[in-house]
Amino acid sequence: MPEWHNLKEKKDRIEHTMAEVTNIYFNNEDPHCKEFAKVLNGRVNEYFKTKGISKYGNGEMYFKTVFMLTLFFAPFAAIIYFEPVWWMALGLAILMGLGMAGIGLGIMHDGNHGSYSKHKWVNNLMGYTLNLVGANAMNWKIQHNVKHHTYTNIEDHDEDIEPKAILRFSPATPLKKVHKYQYLYVWFFYSLGTFFWVTIKDFAKITRYNKEGILHKNVSSVAKEYAILIITKIVYFSWVIGIPVLFTSYSGGEIFLGYFIMHLAAGLGVGVIFQPAHLLPEVEYPEPDENGKMKYSRFVHQLYTSVNFANGSKLVTWYGGGLNFQVEHHLFPHICHVHYVNLAPIVKATAAEFDIPYHAKKGFFETMSEHTKMLKWLGTPDSQLTKA
């Protein structure tokens, strides 16, 4: 377990490189990085060739798809048909939330990365399961696929580490007094994540991306994407709120409470899988020089900024969509997550051969503890950086 002074040393290592830059240029021509990428890609390709299997989804993936969709919709149907007493209804709402998180972690995620199937229409369909549960697939692709996967843990470029409300996820973010307590209240904000995403964040995101010009670069029609967002939101709220209002005797307050509880469960489920993978003491926050140039290639950059955890837990791996194999995911987002458990030994051995870090935590609860300590450190003056 890393000691606190290592976190302070991390701050000292990167503080002198802080600079205000607009464009980022990865050092993709570095010979060592190029050779590592060549060798690793060759070994991974050889794995699939030797096994005679596809890099896309398999029977496990298809079963998970049916399971997670059922986990989400079956409790909803039970609530509408049986109208159980309040405590049973809330329990079913929690199951819906877990199903919702499972859809996000293990279905839409692969679909939007194009790794669910070799067929584009299948990937698009699976990606749109995100719209089915209230969020927007295009917003996700821009924030996650483009900004997060390309600029992982780079201040002002990776939206996942942008300051959110009273949360601080990067040493480069200005420190506020309230951050001292974020390690305590962060879990509530994680729980609120999907609720704010479907109600407010999607509208703010698409407007932001349109103003930045990034939406136009990633879609064929901006008007079409606005229409998709609005129409799918109407459809979503019509069934998730409208059906209980029309076909049950629950009061408006009871329906909203169930809806809110569902999102608290979903938000926490998503948060404890997504958040620790880039917010642990081992990760780096690489900064560009004054010209925007990064030290490593984009490929190698991923190993410095990602951490695996609980790789020995079949439950975490299955439910979490393989995202506890975050290193493998960031190196090979085009490969379905069901293969990561078998790719991990290849990646680890190759990284060691090239003297490149391979970060991994053994247990889930150990990871949560270290994540909490990292958040606590980010609330202290020791973590504050001074920009050049």
Backbone angles phi, psi at 258, to 5 degrees: -60, -40
* Mean pLDDT rounded to a whole number for the chain: 93
Q: How far is CA 213 from CA 100, 152, 218, 223, in A?
A: 31, 21, 9, 13
The pTM assigned to this predicted structure is 0.92
Q: Which of 320, 330, 336 is nearest to 268 (CA)?
A: 320
Contact partners, residue 90, CB within 8 Å, separation at least 6 = 257, 258, 261
The per-residue pLDDT for 22 is: 60
Q: How far is CA 307 from CA 22, 263, 315, 327, in A?
A: 27, 26, 18, 6
| Residue 29: HSE in the Cβ half-sphere, 13 Å Cα cutoff | 2
Is residue 296 within 8 Å of residue 152, measured between CB atoms? no
The per-residue pLDDT for 343 is: 98
Handedness of CA 159, 307, 10, 33 (dihedral sign): negative
Is residue 307 within 8 Å of residue 282, measured between CB atoms? yes
Mean per-residue pLDDT, 298-319: 97
- Tell me the three state secondary structure of residue 360: strand
Does some domain include residue 115?
yes
Give 57-78 as a DSSP string: --HHHHHHHHHHHHHHHHHHHH
The per-residue pLDDT for 384 is: 83
| Residue 367: HSE in the Cβ half-sphere, 13 Å Cα cutoff | 27
pLDDT band (50, 70, 90) for residue 184: very high
- State the Cα–Cα distance between residues 51 and 210, nearest whole angstrom: 44
Does some domain include residue 388?
no
Number of structural domains found in the chain: 1
Least confident of 6-10, 31-35, 260-264: 6-10
Does some domain include residue 318?
yes
Q: What is the pLDDT of residues 231-264, one digit of tens each?
A: 999 999 999 999 999 999 999 999 999 999 999 9
The domain of 217 spans 4-383
- State the Cα–Cα distance between residues 209 and 280, nearest whole angstrom: 29
The per-residue pLDDT for 14 is: 38
pLDDT band (50, 70, 90) for residue 173: very high
- Residue 239 neighbours by CB distance under 10 Å: 13
- State the Cα–Cα distance between residues 361 and 281, nearest whole angstrom: 11
Instruction: List the beta bridge partners of residue 308.
Output: 360
Residue 365: both structure tokens together: 């609860």
9-13, 270-274, 383-387 — which one is most confidently predicted on average? 270-274
Longest Cα–Cα distance of the chain, Å, equals 68
Does some domain include residue 23?
yes
Distance of CA 23 to the CA centre of its chain: 23
Q: Are strands 360-361 and 308-309 parallel, antiparallel or unpaired?
A: parallel
Residue 150: both structure tokens together: 């390309």
12 pLDDT higher than 50:
no
25 pLDDT higher than 80:
yes
Is residue 228 within 8 Å of residue 131, measured between CB atoms? yes
